[in-house]
Each structure stands twice: as C-alpha cells, then as structure tokens.
Amino acid sequence: MAKYGNRKVTLDGYTFDSKAEAQRYRELRLLEQAGELIYLLVHPRFELLPKVGRERSIVYVADFCYLEGDPNHYIVEDVKGVETAIFRLKANLFRRAYPNHELRIVREGR
C-alpha cells in the first residue's frame, strides 16, 4: 500500500500512485483519442533548481502534461487527495520556473 492509503495501479505499462490517478489517465487518453488534446505525457519531469556542487537538482514529477488548443500552452496536471507542504513548495517553484505552463490540481473524488 502506498502513502495515504492509496493502492498503486498499473495500466498501459504505467504505474500510478492511486486509482484516481489511473482513472484520470483513462479520461485523458479518451480526450486524446477524440482530438481534444495532444502530446499526452505521463509522469513528465521538470527541473526546478539545477544541481549545485554535490547536491542533486530539485525535480518536480507531475502526473500528466499535454497540449490543449494553444500549441505554446502546456497543461500540467497533478491528481491530489492530500496536498503536502512539499507539494505546495514544488508547485510554487514550478509556477515560477515555468510561467507559460498551467498547473492544474485535480482533486480525487471530484
């Protein structure tokens, strides 16, 4: 069992942290097949702060990323049941580092 009582789910070769995240993937795949969005990426990585000396870079791994309409406007999604302090910090850093990307929080059980 994963954090916060979630169960990992494997679908199409991807491992999702929760049933809600896997369900959102199914929804996004249907939207992609219908032509409503393009270039769906699963678990894309975004560097927030570069490596300094021996310290590792700080990276944010989102749940999904895709284009919806405007080819220069990426939508980055994270499915959340619980927003941790670490997530809020990374979301803040993400918004500063990638101002042309829209971060959408999808609530579990919405």
pLDDT exceeds 80 at position 92: yes
Q: Residue 51 — φ and ψ, nearest 5°? A: -60, 140
Q: What does the pLDDT look like over 5-30, one tens digit per residue?
A: 678 989 899 999 999 999 999 999 99
pLDDT on residue 78: 97
Q: Name the pTM for this structure.
A: 0.88
- Between CA 31 and CA 67 the distance in angstroms is 11
Domain ranges, ordered by start, for the chain: 3-107
Q: What does the pLDDT look like over 25-75, one tens digit per residue?
A: 999 999 999 999 999 999 999 999 999 999 999 999 999 999 998 788 899
Q: Are 109 and 20 in contact (CB under 8 A)?
A: yes
**Nearest CA among 15, 1, 34 for reference residue 25:** 15
pLDDT on residue 51: 95
Q: Which amino acid is at 75?
A: I
- Between CA 25 and CA 109 the distance in angstroms is 14
**Nearest CA among 87, 83, 109, 95 for reference residue 24:** 109
Q: Can you read off the two tokens belonging to residue 94?
A: 């993400």
**Domain at 3-107: CATH architecture:** 3-Layer(aba) Sandwich (3.40)
